[in-house]
Amino acid sequence: MRLARISTPHGTLTGEYVDGVVHADGDSYAVGEDAHLMAPCDPTAVFCTGRNFGAKIDQMGEGDRPDRPDWFVKPPHALHPPEQPIEYPDWVDSFTYAGELAAVIDERCHDLSVGDVDDALRGYTILNDLDAYEQDRRTARKAFDGSAPLGPWIETDVDLDGMAMETVISGERRQSATTDEMLFSPPEIIAFLSERYTFRPGDVISFGSPANPGLIERGDTVEITYEGVGTLRNTVA
């Protein structure tokens, strides 16, 4: 099932997305006509994993492969909806994309075992980890307004084994990988972080970017696809 969150004349609603229509509260809303897609959840924080693909670590010169998950946090105001233009910040010279799989928490939870993770999840979605690359340190680079496009919906039925992904920039494929290339699996990362944080419903955990994150320019279209989940699409204003 695909769970979408939409803006309607009746307010914000969440329902099942089927073929361009969201069914919510007994009514149906055509996306783009009666409603617009929003980010599919309302997190208190977005927990992002760094250095989780060996090929990217080697490519970017990010040092040795970590022996435990490496992470950072984006605040709620980093969230940005699918299909809506990304603002190119006036204060940056180098602006980069990174196509990441992400999970959404469904219940308040803490200190999960790997085997408990699936029961605590609402499902999976897609994150674009935007990066103002020349800024100092991760917070300045990654935690600004609109730096976390998320969506287009939450897929509740996902097979993580060998899931293929690609990132296409204005028709050119830039990233291509599978989840088998992750150093730490999504359940391992969620369990690890849950030792340190109490997750709230709607919180987001992403699992790192494959090789070839890169520059985007004004006018580019960014399409990030994860097999069985969907495609997160935004243009750059």
**Model-level pTM?**
0.97
Distance CA 107, CA 219 (A): 39
Phi/psi of residue 65, nearest 5 degrees: -70, 135
Determine the pLDDT at residue 64.
86
Phi/psi of residue 164, nearest 5 degrees: -85, 150
Q: Judge whether 126 and 101 are in contact, CB under 8 Å.
A: yes
Tell which residue, 53, 69, 114, 76, has the closest CA to residue 204: 76
Q: Which of the 8 DSSP states describes residue 216?
A: -
Determine the pLDDT at residue 60.
85
- Domains, the chain, in order of start with CATH, read 1-38 (2.30.30), 39-235 (3.90.850.10)
pLDDT tens across the length of the chain (237 residues): 999 999 999 899 999 999 999 999 999 999 999 999 999 999 999 999 999 999 999 888 888 889 999 999 999 999 999 999 999 999 999 999 999 999 999 999 999 999 999 999 999 999 999 999 899 999 999 999 999 999 999 999 999 999 999 999 999 999 999 999 999 999 999 999 999 999 999 999 999 999 999 999 999 999 999 999 999 999 999
Tokens 């287009």 belong to 152
Q: How many CA atoms lie within 13 A of 156 on its CB side?
A: 11
Tokens 């993580």 belong to 160
